[in-house]
Structure formats: structure tokens, C-alpha cells
């Protein structure tokens, strides 16, 4: 604009604008004095200063330092407290430049994949093995994890010094026994690793009456729940870059699985914990949240434009690679959510498993299960992994 203003007395406004590629309307509009815009009136539904500070105090609390706003919202609801919506928390964080993506996301293409459906716990399991860095370069520990796809509950896990079909066979057998799996009621899904496709594991599953399925070669999307679980585990703040010893890895993994099963509010489960869904406490949790939201609505109805809010229920169906809905052109079975009922009361809760046999273990997390389940699980719960797994047994 300055160049047009300097050239206009000599060449004229039209010629100057044409030479510099500036529209004459833009030039004239820039010369007109701009009237100050009136301040935007505050919304009647906006939080007061005191309420915003209370939200900031919770978002900055040490116990919520590593949680997303949706996780904080769900945990506060479970504690009987409603401050604001999840979207309002994001707006308040953005107002203070405290909101950004913390990691680069890798996006995978869409593949045609095997389709598996779970409508209750202990109907579809997914298992995988991941490496844990050892104390020195080129040293690793191997973490075996069996995950219930419907509830995301870790039903069995083990840390060893090597990847072995024999160890995987023992882990699967003991987990099935502890969970009380009946023949022809369970499907076990895995990728095509050497342990997953081994003959000992295949013969064991045939003897137990468990159906086995595998991912397509080199397609991690066919085993998404195990892959996502490992990512959640390894992005925890307390997860170290390297483990000092086998005992260190077992102790820390025990604490992490205890947090994941009983404290982590899972986004795909309506922000319930995996234990709530696995042990049939879904309706109880949803009713408790519903009462809290009704109280919050009664206190400030003007803040809820769409009426009384309802808590999100976990899905009634969970798919591995859901089929496409021809009418909608999108995967079906992924958005139908409803309160669940009639789930298992509480089988033995899986923690560390010894490859030499299910020896009795004790753990601090057994007190979190309902009273009838605590007696059944006290003998097999372990916060510190497989206490009887010795180094010599794994060599």
C-alpha cells in the first residue's frame, strides 16, 4: 500500500494499482479510517472468573499433569464433580497457549482385513509380543500381553528374556484356565510372528477348543488393539528408555498394567476403565455419572444448550476390521453404543504368569475388585509379574 501511495501522484492511482497487482478497492478501503469494533458481549453461558480459575486449578493439578482433558473430565465425574465440558477445557487451555500435539502421528492406509466381532468379555482376545530395551545395547526383554478386545482388559502378561513358543504356550494355557474359558467360546487373534504361528501354540489351542486367527503378512492394522495398547503403555511418563534388569521390567510392568486395568479411563469404552466393562460394572458407573450430570444441569440449565447431558456408553459391539455398511459407506458396528448388562461378574484377574506353573501370588490391586471377586482373585493377582519366573527357567 505504501508503494501505491508513493507512485499515485506521478502515475495515478489506477496505473499504480495495475502495475503492482493491487485492486483499487483494496487501496481505497485501506485509506479509509477503520472504526473500532465493539467488544463482543459475554455469553450468558460463559464461566465466571472464579469458575475458570477452578478449572485451571484442576487442569494444572499434579495428578492430572499427564492426562488429556477428556480423561480429567471422566475422573472428576467419577469423583462426583462437574466443572465444565471437555470442549470448554480445551478452550481454556488454548487461551493460555497450553494446547498442542505432543507427538507425530503415523497414518496408515486402509486395507481389506479379516473381520472379527466381540459382544462380551472373554469372547475375542488379541495377543502380541513387544521388545523392551535392556540395560545395554542389543539386549532386550520380551513382553507377552493377552488383551480382551471387548473390555480392553489385560487378562494375561509375562516378561521373559527371549521369544519362545513354549513360553507363549504356557501363558495362553494358564490364562485360559484362570479365566474359565469353555471350549468353542473364545477366538484368539494374533499377527504372524514365529511364536504365534508355531505348532505348539496351534496344538494347544486345538486341545483347548480355542479358534485362532492371524493378521495378513506385514499388516499391523489387522491386530490394532494390541498395537494400540503397546503404544499407550510405552507413552506413559514412568516408562523408562531402558530397563536395568529382568526384575525391574516385571515390577514396572506390573504397576503399569494395574494402572491400565483399574485407573485408565479408556476413550473407546465411554471413558470407563477396562475393569468396569470386564466385570460388568458399566450400568452402575453410567447411572452414577447420569445423576451427577443431572445435578449440574439443574444448577445451571442455561449452560446446556441441548438439554440434560447423558454419559457416553461403551459400544455393544467391538470389531477388528468392521465390515463396510453399503448404505452409509462407512464401517458398521463402530458407533452403536448402548449400556451393557449381563457381563461376567469377575473371573480371576490376570497379572503376571509364571511359565513354570500358576503359583500363588499376591498384589495390592486385588482390593479394587468387588468383594466376591476379591476372594477368587487374591491367589493369582500379582503386581510384580511372574514371581516364580527365574532367569535359569528362561535360558
| Mean pLDDT on 360-382 | 36
Q: Does residue 105 lie in a domain region?
A: no
pLDDT at residue number 110? 55
DSSP one-letter code for 279: T
Q: Which residues contact 38 (CB under 8 A, 6 or more apart)?
A: none
Angle at the Cα of 385 from the Cα atoms of 381 and 388, rounded to 5 degrees: 95
**Are 121 and 196 part of one and the same domain?**
yes
The string of pLDDT tens digits covering residues 266-281 is 999 999 999 999 999 9
* Residue 325 phi, psi dihedral angles, 5° rounding: -85, 115
Take residue 249 and report the three cell numbers written for it: 521390567
**Are 8 and 135 part of one and the same domain?**
no
Three-class SS of residue 24? Answer: helix
CA-nearest of 29, 142, 130, 39 to 386 is: 142
**Are 65 and 143 part of one and the same domain?**
no
**Are 173 and 236 part of one and the same domain?**
yes
Range of the domain at 240: 116-276+334-390
**Are 21 and 62 part of one and the same domain?**
no
Cβ atoms 160, 141 nearer than 8 A: yes
Take residue 394 and report the three cell numbers written for it: 528362561
| Helix axes 282-299 and 69-78, enclosed angle (nearest 10) | 90
Burial of 213 per CB tally in 10 Å (0-12, 13-18, 19+): middle
Alpha carbons 181 and 200: distance in angstroms, whole number: 19
Alpha carbons 306 and 301: distance in angstroms, whole number: 10
Take residue 291 and report the three cell numbers written for it: 445423576
Q: Does residue 74 lie in a domain region?
A: yes
**Are 126 and 91 part of one and the same domain?**
no
Q: Does residue 371 lie in a domain region?
A: yes
Alpha carbons 348 and 367: distance in angstroms, whole number: 13
Residue 347 vs residue 200, higher pLDDT = 200
The string of pLDDT tens digits covering residues 28-56 is 888 888 778 888 888 888 999 999 999 99
**Are 127 and 187 part of one and the same domain?**
yes
In 215-342, which residue ranges form alpha helices assigned H by DSSP? 224-234, 246-262, 274-278, 282-299
Alpha carbons 372 and 222: distance in angstroms, whole number: 37
DSSP one-letter code for 144: E
Asked whether residue 151 carries a pLDDT value surpassing 50, the answer given is yes
Report the CATH number at residue 358: 3.30.420.10
Confidence of residue 331 (pLDDT cuts 50, 70, 90): low
- Average confidence score pLDDT of the chain: 82
**Are 261 and 350 part of one and the same domain?**
yes
Q: Does residue 323 lie in a domain region?
A: no
> Does the reported pTM lie above 0.95?
no
Alpha carbons 72 and 64: distance in angstroms, whole number: 7
Beta bridge partners of 324: 331
CA dihedral of 252, 253, 255, 257, whole degrees rounded to 10: 170
| Mean pLDDT on 301-326 | 89
Q: Which residues contact 379 (CB under 8 A, 6 or more apart)?
A: 348, 360, 361
Q: Which residues contact 62 (CB under 8 A, 6 or more apart)?
A: none
Q: Does residue 327 lie in a domain region?
A: no
Alpha carbons 373 and 362: distance in angstroms, whole number: 14
**Are 233 and 193 part of one and the same domain?**
yes
The string of pLDDT tens digits covering residues 171-216 is 999 999 999 999 999 999 999 899 999 999 999 999 999 999 999 8
Confidence of residue 326 (pLDDT cuts 50, 70, 90): low
Cβ atoms 109, 209 nearer than 8 A: no
Q: What's the domain count of the chain?
A: 3
Alpha carbons 384 and 197: distance in angstroms, whole number: 29
CA atoms within 13 A on the CB side of 6: 4
Amino acid at each position: 500500500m505504501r508503494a501505491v501511495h508513493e507512485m499515485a501522484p506521478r502515475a495515478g492511482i489506477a496505473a499504480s494499482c495495475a502495475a503492482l497487482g493491487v485492486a483499487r478497492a483494496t487501496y481505497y478501503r485501506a485509506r479509509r479510517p477503520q472504526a473500532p469494533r465493539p467488544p463482543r458481549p459475554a455469553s450468558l453461558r460463559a464461566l465466571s472468573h472464579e469458575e475458570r480459575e477452578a478449572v485451571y486449578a484442576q487442569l494444572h493439578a499434579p495428578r492430572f499433569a499427564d492426562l488429556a482433558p477428556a480423561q480429567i473430565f471422566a475422573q472428576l465425574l467419577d469423583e462426583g464433580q462437574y466443572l465444565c465440558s471437555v470442549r470448554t477445557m480445551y478452550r481454556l487451555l488454548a487461551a493460555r497457549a497450553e494446547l498442542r500435539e505432543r507427538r507425530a502421528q503415523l497414518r496408515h492406509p486402509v486395507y481389506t482385513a479379516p473381520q472379527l466381532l466381540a459382544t462380551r468379555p472373554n469372547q475375542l482376545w488379541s495377543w502380541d509380543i513387544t521388545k523392551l530395551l535392556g540395560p545395554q545395547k542389543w539386549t532386550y526383554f520380551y513382553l507377552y500381553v493377552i488383551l480382551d478386545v471387548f473390555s480392553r482388559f489385560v487378562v494375561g502378561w509375562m516378561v521373559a528374556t527371549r521369544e519362545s513358543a513354549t513360553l507363549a504356550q504356557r501363558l495362553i494355557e494358564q490364562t485360559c484356565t484362570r479365566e474359565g474359558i469353555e471350549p468353542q467360546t473364545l477366538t484368539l487373534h494374533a499377527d504372524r510372528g514365529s511364536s504365534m504361528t508355531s505348532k505348539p501354540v496351534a496344538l494347544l489351542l486345538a486341545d483347548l477348543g480355542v479358534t485362532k486367527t492371524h493378521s495378513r503378512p506385514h499388516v499391523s492394522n489387522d491386530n490394532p488393539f494390541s498395537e494400540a495398547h503397546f503404544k499407550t503403555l510405552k507413552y506413559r511418563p514412568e516408562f523408562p528408555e531402558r530397563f536395568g534388569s529382568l526384575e525391574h521390567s516385571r515390577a514396572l510392568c506390573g504397576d503399569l498394567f494395574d494402572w491400565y486395568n483399574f485407573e485408565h479411563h479408556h476413550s473407546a469404552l465411554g471413558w470407563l476403565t477396562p475393569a468396569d466393562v470386564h466385570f460388568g460394572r458399566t450400568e452402575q458407573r453410567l447411572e452414577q455419572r447420569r445423576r451427577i450430570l443431572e445435578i449440574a444441569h439443574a444448577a445451571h440449565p442455561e449452560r446446556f444448550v441441548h438439554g440434560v447431558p447423558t454419559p457416553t456408553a461403551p459400544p455393544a459391539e467391538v470389531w477388528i476390521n468392521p465390515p463396510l455398511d453399503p448404505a452409509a459407506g462407512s464401517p458398521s458396528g463402530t458407533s452403536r453404543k448402548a449400556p451393557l448388562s449381563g457381563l461376567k461378574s469377575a473371573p480371576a484377574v490376570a497379572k503376571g504368569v509364571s511359565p513354570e506353573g500358576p503359583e500363588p501370588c499376591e498384589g495390592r490391586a486385588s482390593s479394587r475388585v468387588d468383594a466376591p471377586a476379591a476372594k477368587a482373585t487374591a491367589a493369582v493377582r500379582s503386581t510384580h509379574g511372574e514371581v516364580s519366573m527365574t532367569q535359569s527357567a528362561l535360558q
